[in-house]
Structure 1
Amino acid sequence: MDESTITVPTADGIELQVYRFAPQGRPRAVVQVQHGLGEHAGRYRRFAGALAGAGYLVYAPDARGSGRTAQGRYGQWGPDSWLGWIDDVDRVRQRIREDEPDLPLALFGHSLGSFATQQYLLDHSADVDAVVLSGTAEAGSISGMLDSPEPADLSAFNAGFEQRTGFEWLSRDEAEVDRYVADEGCGFESEAFRGMGTLAAAADPERLRELRPDLPILLVSGDADPLADGGRAIEVVGERYREAGLTDVTVTIYPEARHELLNETNRDEVTAEILAFLDRTVGSGR
């Protein structure tokens, strides 16, 4: 796998730092990875290695206020705040299309990246060829939780789990939790989002019916993820897409798995399912 970095400018003057992980030989397709809140794209290097090993080219931006893009100012979302997050997804996608105009494109979003993806699809379902949502939930309830003048408090998610670090809700793998805690680019406090109320549109049946019906979507979650409500919140999202007319929607719930499936004890199983989905959709030459 060949790793490099490119930059993509945002509408409000931020330079997104984007990892590019390339396979040997001509790629089968491109996977755009959108990470979650309080983390960065460098944490997806292992996943990118698996994708590149299977012939996929990966673009993984450090989102605004995160990773190298933040330049030490973690959790500062910039003038465009949440709507900037959504627009940034498209700016990275446009750069991918400039670099690789002939390759199919899959969008992978985890946690906050999955909510940005849900909202992004309302206006851009024709611009991507497949979607994977990880650690996601029903957009209406999340919008209400995050649309607050106060920064999001994620500590409540650890209720019901062991309290060794306060981040046990992320994974059953203690070594992965310890890496998260030791990483200065993770778990940081952030300013409140502005414009987060617009995310509620991603739960609107009328808006969802505007999505193109042949867009393949895979939703993966652990039933012990506090966002998933035992898996019920994920089933709701999947059913809404089906009711909107989408014909290729798959929901997989992993028993006892927590929020970060790619860092869970069963991560190889999860990665294998995602690869099988990509092989069936964008990797098939479609």
Structure 2
Amino acid sequence: MFTFTGEDGLTVHVHGWVPDGPPRAVVQIAHGMGEHALRYAPLARELNAAGYAVYANDHRGHGATMRPGRPGALDDDGWDLLVDDMAALTRILHERHPGLPVVLLGHSLGSFAAQQYILDRSGLVNAVALSGTTAVDGLFAFLAEAGGDVMGAFNAAFQPARTEADWLSRDEAQVDLYIADPLCGFTLDEPSMNGLAAAAVDRLAEPAGIPADLPMYVLVGEHDPLNRGLELSDLAVERYRRAGLTDITYRTYPDARHELFNETNRAEVVTDLIAWLDRVTG
């Protein structure tokens, strides 16, 4: 682990995993809401075995970066600062691994941040992967219909549910690990959620200014409740196509839920990810 200082003085904590030999490229992971970077250690080790160095910061309001007793609190202008933190880490990775391609892999909330990141910082990365992603403005419309109960809305499709987090994965052991983790299971606080919602409408709904040749990989589970079937992920991909992106890989996994890297078919998901990484960094 190492740290760097965010634009507002916050200490941001970063976890790193490196392969035994010289890496072929770098993967920067941006984790989801109500979780933390160490949950991606198994994925990082598999990427290490394929020759990739992997780094992931704990977002502000999460993990080791969280201010004590304030889960989900991003602070003033916190959403934009969270994206700034990701860009600051990318610059550090270029310094640590000069000349190597850097791929940004965002999951869920991290994918929403990655969507904003590439609007004006795409020159920092060679490709972007969006896991468990969606059209964020459509997601907020769905949550408004559900009365704002985020977790309840996500779990509603899996009733009668074994737990309140069945929407994450078909793998019960992974769901139980999430529930037992004291650093998991919360949402952003209201001001932070409002900041994300504003960005969803003002900036993410119609992406523009992204280089046409930036490779993008979108991977979602067909039973991910963030997408209302595949309606919202289809919409997100269509928006990027309208924006002019010419290298979009869109992969959907039947029966899979939200956390593809913790799903029962995770081996398939990782194999597909590595094949795409090998292509875009080769």
TM bucket normalised to smaller: over 0.9
Partner Cα separation in structure 1 for residue 178 and residue 91 of structure 2: 31
* Structure 2 partner of 1:76: 73
Q: Look up the match of 2:91.
A: 94
- Structure 1 vs Structure 2 CA RMSD: 1.8
Query: Of 124, 128, 133, which aligns to 1:131?
Result: 128
2-structure distance, mates of 1:110, 1:160? 21
User: Partner residue of 2:61?
Assistant: 65
Cα offset for 1:89? 1.1
Q: Tell whether 2:24 aligns with 1:22.
A: no
CA distance in 1, matches of 2:82, 2:141: 17
Aligned to 1:51: 47
Which of 3, 20, 23 is the matching residue for 1:7? 3
Give the counterpart letter for 2:254 in structure 1. Answer: P
Q: What does residue 195 of structure 1 align with?
A: 195
Provide the C-alpha distance between the structure 2 equivalents of 1:45 and 1:275, rounded to a whole number of angstroms: 16
CA distance in 1, matches of 2:182, 2:195: 27
**Equivalent residue, structure 2, for 1:275:** 274
CA distance in 2, matches of 1:152, 1:59: 32
Is the contact between residue 12 and residue 79 of structure 1 (CA under 8 Å) also seen in structure 2?
no
User: C-alpha offsets along residues 158-212 of structure 1, whole Å, 9 cap, x if unaligned?
Assistant: 00214221100000000000000000000025412152202321221xx42x110
Q: 1:16, CA displacement in angstroms?
A: 1.0
Compared with structure 1, are the counterparts of its residues 112 and 244 closer, same or farther at alpha carbon in structure 2 (3 Å cutoff)?
Answer: same
Which residue of the partner structure matches residue 214 of structure 1? 213
Give the superposition deviation at 1:83. Answer: 1.1
User: 1:121 and 1:179 mapped to 2: Cα distance?
Assistant: 32
The answer for unaligned runs of 5 or more in structure 1 is none
| Distance change >3 Å, CA 233–CA 102, structure 1 → 2 | same
What is the aligned counterpart of 2:28 among 29, 32, 46? 32
Q: Does 1:178 align with 2:180?
A: no
Give me the identity figure in percent.
46
Q: Relative to 1, partners in 2 of residues 1:245 and 1:134: Cα closer, same or farther, differing over 3 Å?
A: same
Amino acid at match of 2:110: G
C-alpha deviation, 1:70, in angstroms: 1.1
Q: Does 1:240 align with 2:242?
A: no
The offset of 1:140, in angstroms, is 2.1
The CA distance in 1 between the partners of 2:187 and 2:266, in whole Å, is 27
* Aligned match of 2:226: 227
SS in 2 for 1:251: strand
Letter in 2 for 1:256: D
- Secondary structure of the residue aligned to 1:281 is helix
**How many Å apart are 1:279 and its aligned residue?**
0.2
Q: Which amino acid aligns with 1:129?
A: N
Superposition map of 1:250-261 within 5 A: 250-261=249-260
Deviation at 1:145, TM superposition (A): 6.6
Q: Hey, what does 2:161 align to over in structure 1?
A: 163
Instruction: Report which stretch shifted further, 50-59 or 161-170.
Output: 161-170
Deviations 1:125-155 (A, max 9, x none): 22210111000001222355789xx986322
> After TM superposition, which residue ranges in structure 1, 4 or more long, deviate above 6 angstroms?
none
3-state SS of 1:88 partner: helix
User: Alpha-carbon deviation of 1:51?
Assistant: 0.5
- Give the distance between the partners of 2:116 and 2:200, measured in 1 at CA: 6
- 1:61 to 1:151, Cα distance in 2 relative to 1, 3 A: farther
In 2, Cα distance between the equivalents of 1:262 and 1:234? 18
> 1:48-100: per-residue Cα shift (whole Å, max 9, x none)?
00101100000111111111111543222123311111111111111111211
Structure 2 unmatched runs, 5+? none
**Residues 13-37 of structure 1 deviation map (CA, whole Å, 9 limit, x = unaligned):** 2111100100011110000000000
Contact (CA 8 Å) 1:151, 1:191: kept in 2 or not? Answer: no
**Mapped pair 1:121 → 2:118:** yes
Q: Classify 1:152/1:36 alpha carbon distance in 2 versus 1 (closer, same or farther; 3 Å).
A: farther
